[in-house]
Copies of this chain bind each other. A is one copy, B any other.
Amino acid sequence: MQATHEELLIEMKKLTDEKRATSNETILRQHSKDESHHSPVLPEVVVFPNSTEEVSSIVKFANEHKIPVVPFGVGSSLEGHCIPLQGGISINFQNMNQVLEVRPEDFLVKVQPGVTRTQLNQALKKYGLFFPVDPGADATLGGMAATNASGTTSVRYGIMRPQVRDLEVVLADGSIIHTGGLAAKSSSGYHLTGLFVGSEGTLGVFTELTLKVYGIPETTVAGRAVFPSVKEAVDGAVSLLSSGNSLARVELVDEPSIRQVNMHSDTSYPEKPTLFLEFHGNEGGIAQDVAFAEELLSANGSEELIFETDSIKKAKLWEARHHLAYAFKHGFSGREMMLTDVVVPLSELTGAVVYARELIESEGLPGGVLGHVGDGNFHSILMFDKNSEEETKKANRINERIVEYALSKKGSCSGEHGIGIGKMKYLRQEHSDTLPLMKMIKQQFDPNNIMNPGKVLF
């Protein structure tokens, strides 16, 4: 028997309390969308659990009544992940936002899923520790684990998956499990932690995460290298990576993007393809790395090279880079933003970025290209008019061609944003071999398909 909207709200209030379950129109609308261009869909009810036990009872009820369940962090996902496509319950984790335990000697931290990245780093600072994964947005750690997020620092510290030591997960039937432990490594059975990371809420709901953290590096140097062309910038980055240089960040920002940065931020960077760089290490090591980088980048055609050690100047540089998407949004307000996200092998990156730039120019949409060059991962920012069928088609066409190019080079259709709604057909293309196995797993873990339905596979 299906529960009516009213019955569902009453039940959710019973499982939490009068104030922590709602069908208030404004709140439903806040939970109908993420930061992507995908169309909003309202949930039937939004619930704000305080504990794992509450999450468990919510999911158990949902499963018994075959009601969809969609976890919600801060809604910063980029492929429609937290849009409740089939209605049902949106579970907001804002009340489960505690840093539960810091174990400095073990380089571990235990958090609730609603803790955000900057909140965690604030808590870690006094221990001389930090959590490196930095997708730009101040996402929740639950969300970052769900999409296997990465970002600017992955070239050095790796992506989200290997940082996760243990997950507390509520399964579709409401049972609560732990997937790992506190060990730095393990060869004990199938790697379920790694299977849940990146499953985008379709296999279970995360209620607690144990994460690896790192010592704050002794020295950090940030830099900016300006190039006459995108090709020379990417080639410069690739040669730097091949040299074994200990880069912690290497980001490409193309000229239209630099223009937006200058308009939005208080900067006057040369409007040319630019690499934003960062080095982490000890003083002696970095001095040598920076000197070598200068030599190598100049040899690769860099026209201007600036390194900053001052912490305010470093922060400003990275703020400019991180605000890039917002710079486009503000610069083209009224337009919708589509963010492409593919990965190619490093040797194919120059070709792929040049191809993307050509596509954007030939379609005539405002937009730029930026990339986590160290991982062969890049994004195009496409600003299109959602009310214009033609422009929407153009944006979709650019996205499609970029994905097809990446897949033709044995890259991936998603580097860090995930599949969500937007990339389901490309997942089928990329992983036609393993799709039957993924489906088997999904059907076994979630036989009623209540966990974030309409995403990833079904």
Contacts and interface: CB of A to CB of B under 8 A. Distances in A.
The oligomer's copy count stands at: 2
Given A187-B148, A419-B188, A411 B195 contact: no
B409 A188 contact: no
B416 A185 contact: yes
B154 A185 contact: yes
A147 B187 contact: yes
A188 B423 contact: yes
Contact of A185 (B107, B184, B377): B377
B183 A191 contact: no
Interface string A108-119: 100000000000
Contacts of A427: 188-189
Nearest to A217: B244
B184 A346 contact: yes
A190 B436 CA distance: 11
Contact of A345 (B158, B182, B246): B182
Contacts of A103: 345, 347
Contacts of A272: none
A412 B188 contact: yes
Interface stretch (A57-65, A247-255, A281-289, A300-308): A281-289
A281 B244 CA distance: 9
Nearest to A456: B189
Nearest to A444: B440
A195 B195 contact: yes
Contacts of A374: 184
A445 B434 CA distance: 11
A419 B346 contact: no
A263 interface: no
A187 B444 contact: no
B190 A438 contact: yes
Contact of A289 (B158, B190, B282): B282
Nearest to A428: B189
Contacts of A238: 105
Interface string A124-168: 000000000000000000000001111000100011011000000
Nearest to A148: B187
Contacts of A345: 103, 105-106, 108, 182-184
Interface in A236-290: 238, 242-244, 246, 281-289
Contacts of A158: 158, 162
A50 interface: no
B183 A411 contact: yes
Interface stretch (A11-19, A173-181, A321-329, A393-401): A173-181
A71 interface: no
Given A107-B346, A244-B215, A346-B106, A187 B417 contact: yes
A201 interface: no
Contacts of A433: 177-179
A434 B179 contact: yes
A445 B195 CA distance: 15
Given A158-B162, A284-B287, A182 B409 contact: yes
Nearest to A215: B244
A368 interface: no
7 contacts: A103-B345, A148-B191, A158-B162, A178-B434, A182-B345, A182-B410, A185-B416
Given A183-B410, A187-B416, A190-B441, 10 more contacts: A103-B345, A148-B187, A159-B185, A162-B162, A182-B409, A186-B343, A187-B417, A191-B194, A246-B281, A437-B444
